[in-house]
Structure 1
Amino acid sequence: MPISIYPSQLQRILGILSRIYREPNSYSRARLAAEFGVSTKTIGRDIRKLRESGIDIESGPEGYRIRSKFFLPPINFDLEESLSLILAARSFSENEGRHLRDKLESALSKLFDALPDSLKAELPEVSEPIRIGGHKLSPIDREIFDLLREAIRERRTIRIRYQSPRNPHPTEHIFEPYWLVFRKRAFYLIGRSVQANFRSVNRVISLRVNRIESVRSTMGTFRPPEISLEEYLSRAWEIMPSGEVVKVVVKFGPEVAPFIEEVDWHPTQRIRKLEDGSLLFEVEVAGIDEIGWWLMGFPEMEVLEPPELRDKIVEMAREILRRNT
């Protein structure tokens, strides 16, 4: 049975394989989970996929290793597998991986060179008509991005100068960087702000990378977070948990019900169709800010729970009306 792997999962699995190959008996399941920002169960599934593909990975008390007599098999992709890799890389380079485009083109070139002559002739003809549109992204400083990645890898505390659009002056953070995440056309740095403007904060926050003005390393290090990136993001509507977990219930009218129904918006969502063609949409999220902004794009909706979200929507609608009348 073929193994289905999404581009982000493929990237992680290749990273796991690379680390185990370079540093045998150094990477345990817990260390890999911390490094990639996922749960140990997810790492276990990734290791199982590698084993199912024929890679002989052993687990020891100090970590994983590839058996010394095992050699990675030669590349033997068929047309659909080659096309899938090219389209995944093309999509990544047009969107969140735009700053890595040169490396991706180099990797694709090596892949193409290793293919059989029959595929080399057929693949361009099949792949060229397929295009995956890119989005306009917030620009990021490549040097700052690389410094953040290095600090995450080394678990090094950093000093960040951050310009929030809500504050007239930049904020100085002492920061423990956990993860870099791409959401909504921008990269976000998620981690623990230990200090902000020399005041103790000690809470996990999200910072938009293009608003980071400078990054400086410190001598401090930190332990990996107790929760995985998956667990952290599962509490948010998009990227920023902003309060206690609340149950949100929204009624969407028949005009937009099909659109709402066809998308997996959140891991906790529940949808119930009503006789008049409308539907009830239920979800549990930490804070109402992000989901409130999203709901403002649907005038055909009615917030049923919680009351504070309904009040927030009414307040924003009144402000829009005031500015446009």
Structure 2
Amino acid sequence: MYGQVRGMKTDRLIRLIRIITLVQSKPGIMAKELAERCETTERTIYRDMEILSFANIPITNLGHGKGYQFVGNFALYPMDLTEEELMAFAVLPSLLEQVDLVPPDLYSAYEKVMAAARKEKLLRQELLDSVTNVIQMGTPAYKDVKTNFLSTIIQAILSQQTIEARYHTQSRNVTTVRAIDPYYLIPREHRFYLIGYCHQKKAIRTFRLSRFLEVNILDQTFEKDDFNLKAYLKDTWSIERGEKRIAFKVKFSPRVARYVKEEEMFVKPKLTDLEDGSLLFEVTLNHDREFLQWLMGYGAEAEILEPQSYRRKMKELLQRWLGVYDRDKV
């Protein structure tokens, strides 16, 4: 008698796993086909679906005539379980015990699956650490100790988990503790910047990675909703955003024209080759500072044509700069 009961329990467990596999391989599969593939009745399939739902396996019925599919990105194999999915699987034996469905062999199978999931998680972390170790970051001159939160922040971005961070704002010379939903990691000018939702400011903010003093991943998860990175950085030369719309026209000499063309940019300028070999560079930006710094790198090979106000501004800047070198040595 025990052997028969044990066989019935084992058959149901195997059928539950088979249902998950079938729904994964064929989203929208109907109860009738599930019953045929599992060699049982539709009524039994409905009972099995109730058990799976009770175990937090995210299978949903799409409606009359549309069958079953997974909610989100749940998958049986490869494991790739999220923390929530791993927790759901972890409570499966206790749930099955309540309905008297636990065969003796379940625990060894359960332990193997959990071990495989944890192994995958460990391998992902090792891969992440290896990648971040390849990326060598500098250290600000004022810091005595080098800190690198790149791996932690990438992990939080991938798992969509909120971080708690101690962050130094250089412009105000203050340090604050704040919760941040990390959206994107952006490389700019030999630095990394984090773009995310700041709970303290209740708005999207940009954070320089080297200014993080401490970072911890919280259990709280988040959704990016309708945030669009491309729209957020529209008309931004590098990372500093503004509210202006400045239409620049710059003429580059023939000596540097070809080098300007191969510059990797985050905006799309209009480039026009002129008859004398020089290059007309046209771009509309929402902020000026980073662009002007870039222009100064080309020195006398770059000439601002428009706007006239920026032509005068550059002239005044160069005069002040020249004045520094005109002073008598102390």
TM-score (norm. length: structure 2): 0.51
State the distance in 2 between where 1:102 and 1:163 align. Answer: 22
What is the match of residue 324 of structure 1? Answer: 325
Match of 1:324, SS state, is: helix
2:187 is matched with which residue: 182, 194, 207?
Answer: 182
Q: Give the superposition deviation at 1:225.
A: 4.8
State the distance in 1 between where 2:199 and 2:316 align. Answer: 34
What is the match of residue 228 of structure 2? Answer: 228
Structure 1 residues 74-113: aligned runs within 5 Å: 100=130
Q: 5+ residue gaps in structure 1? A: 1-23, 26-59, 69-96, 105-133, 196-200
2:147 aligned with 1:141: yes
2:304 aligned with 1:303: yes
2:163 aligned with 1:193: no
Bigger relative CO (Cα 8 Å, ≥ 6 apart)? 1
What is the match of residue 252 of structure 1? Answer: 252
State the distance in 2 between where 1:102 and 1:153 align. Answer: 14
Match of 1:210, SS state, is: helix
Structure 1 residues 112-191: aligned runs within 5 Å: 137-139=137-139, 141-142=147-148, 144-191=149-196
Q: Give the superposition deviation at 1:138.
A: 1.8
Q: Name the aligned partner's letter for residue 227 of structure 1.
A: F
Structure 1 residues 64-83: aligned runs within 5 Å: none
Contact 2:235 2:267 in 1 (8 A): no
Match of 1:153, SS state, is: helix
1:282 and 1:229, CA in 2 relative to 1: closer, same or farther beyond 3 A?
Answer: same
What is the match of residue 286 of structure 2? Answer: 286
Q: Give the superposition deviation at 1:151.
A: 2.9
TM-score (norm. length: structure 1): 0.51
What is the match of residue 121 of structure 2? Answer: none
State the distance in 1 between where 2:177 and 2:285 align. Answer: 29
2:241 aligned with 1:241: yes
Q: Name the aligned partner's letter for residue 100 of structure 1.
A: S
State the distance in 2 between where 1:103 and 1:168 align. Answer: 30
Equivalenced residue count is 206
How many percent of aligned residue pairs carry the same amino acid?
29
1:64 and 1:169, CA in 2 relative to 1: closer, same or farther beyond 3 A?
Answer: closer
Contact 1:181 1:189 in 2 (8 A): yes
1:220 and 1:324, CA in 2 relative to 1: closer, same or farther beyond 3 A?
Answer: farther
Which moves more between the two structures, 290-299 or 231-240? 231-240
Match of 2:130, SS state, is: helix
Contact 1:248 1:305 in 2 (8 A): yes
State the distance in 1 between where 2:257 and 2:235 align. Answer: 24
Q: Give the superposition deviation at 1:98.
A: 11
What is the match of residue 5 of structure 1? Answer: none
Q: Name the aligned partner's letter for residue 186 of structure 2.
A: V
Bigger CA radius of gyration: 2
What is the match of residue 143 of structure 2? Answer: none
What is the match of residue 21 of structure 2? Answer: none
Task: Say what the alpha-carbon RMSD is for the aligned residues.
Answer: 3.9
Q: 5+ residue gaps in structure 2? A: 1-23, 26-68, 78-126, 140-145
Which moves more between the two structures, 146-155 or 280-289? 146-155
Q: Give the superposition deviation at 1:172.
A: 3.9
Q: Name the aligned partner's letter for residue 303 of structure 1.
A: I
